[in-house]
Chains A and B, each alone.
Chain A
């Protein structure tokens, strides 16, 4: 590295740090009691030291002083990558599935709790992935379908005593109908307009849940929803609930995988790329867009019914816009249209914050930073969708 390059790097680092200070101070320094500087500079000091250290490390690495460590590490990682490519898919999937099944046996209650919410969000993320990643319809009110599913189970089980297993398909079905209801009027809209209308729809559903006292018990929510039962066995423990949601998640993954490589999936992608051209190629865009909404909503309905059973309580505040935004962030962070990508995105946004509980206050700040960084470094997501189509493969 020449002196010139090194100067430019340090300059960029310095400008970045000043910029960070300007952003940080309004966050930490402006308080009701007045302006404050000490806490800002304390946090800034840590970050600056870390940044300088990273820069120093980078320069040492560039200069080649670390090759003794770096080269073997790199060799090992490429070897690992090669082994990964060589290993049959079923073996890798088998290992992951076995690990997922064994997970509750070796961990505690807290880990179960986190794992359950990860799997719920996997269902939600994959469902939203159909709407956004495949069909390219930006849906900002997706959580409404989750709410519809949750309330369907809550109401049916409390008022009519229907079992969880019967309610599961009903919840999915009703969510799918809700998907069609939102889908139908928005079919002619694209881009920004669609986003605004779906955002509005999400809020409408939340307000209905909040205000329809006789049906939903309003802001108090519905309490003591029964746990699922199967042949006399009640799923009381968290680990048993984990297996239900694991089953649902696996079902979702399989379904989305099949859809992804089907004719319908291809048609959705064509609609995402160019709607008019897709129509000229003989794609019934009207029906397929409606189907995308319905399918996405179906998986949210499953997840919702499970959510109600797991919490034993549903209230309208679980289905705010923030939740929609979170699911959207997971899909985009992980990689739109890619199943492993969405799962990674969920892990990054649900499991990581649990690991760093101490820094909870800065969670949104870190999210924002992470999203910005991702868009700059890996705009297609952590694990971008691979473009291999089954029919194309056959045509070779």
Chain B
């Protein structure tokens, strides 16, 4: 696997909010078809990593490479057209647009009406709950349904790489399991997934490889199974 070019690569990326450094030189690689989990405590820089990839937070130094191409200065709104789409933390669906309109927004840059129609059906098959609620305003959905909507919306852009930020946040255990099953399903359909999670146990079970972040640095990277077995990780993140 190491000789292939990664689909997404971060080389020594530093980013900051004002004068406070949030990422102090992060390097990570994501290969096509993988599920990569980024775990870590609050404030470790997990969400900032995703926001920096999407250029919402500007990288101060370092390179962000997508399919071998440097995307540091590519505007956030261009990235979805290249196949890089993020489901932001806290879902951030459009509360006063209907479910269907939310999905339409996911396909905003696409012009192929017929393809969009097919994709709406496809994501409805993936999330049958959303089909029932397609005329409802996004803000009236339950937390789990909103998470599903956020993921469905991102899928509407036909991403190659899906960046998922804390999909389990604030959800009941049963729903979390459902969401992770769907992540697996999405991955099996050929979408590379980068998964940021506090719920390390679930995240590593779903992942092929994992990175552990601590105060803006990568402190460990390994196969997900190895990380799950690592006693330090079990102590720090799995509560043993």
Contact = CB atoms under 8 A, between A and B. Distances in A.
A269 B95 CA distance: 10
Interface string B73-113: 00111111100011010001111111011011110110001
Interface string B127-160: 0000000100100000000000000010001000
A269 B86 contact: no
B185 interface: no
A391 interface: yes
Contacts of B54: 280
B75 A280 contact: no
Interface residues of B, number: 35
B76 A279 contact: yes
B120 interface: yes
A334 B103 CA distance: 29
A389 B100 contact: yes
A217 interface: no
A281 interface: yes
A387 B100 contact: no
A267 B108 contact: yes
Given A276-B56, A279-B77, A280-B86, A269 B104 contact: no
Contacts of A273: 94-97
Nearest to B95: A273
B77 A266 contact: no
A277 B113 CA distance: 22
Contacts of B88: 276-277, 280
A266 B75 contact: no
- Output the residue of B78, B101, B113 with the most chain A CB within 10 A: B101
Contacts of B94: 269-270, 273-274, 277-278
A186 interface: no
Given A267-B108, A269-B94, A269-B96, A282 B101 contact: no
B117 interface: yes
B224 interface: no
8 closest cross-chain pairs (CB), A and B: A273-B94, A392-B100, A282-B80, A277-B92, A282-B109, A279-B76, A284-B77, A282-B108
14 contacts: A272-B96, A273-B96, A276-B88, A278-B94, A279-B76, A282-B77, A282-B109, A283-B108, A284-B75, A387-B101, A391-B100, A392-B100, A392-B101, A395-B120
Interface of A: 263, 266-267, 269-270, 272-274, 276-285, 387, 389, 391-392, 394-396
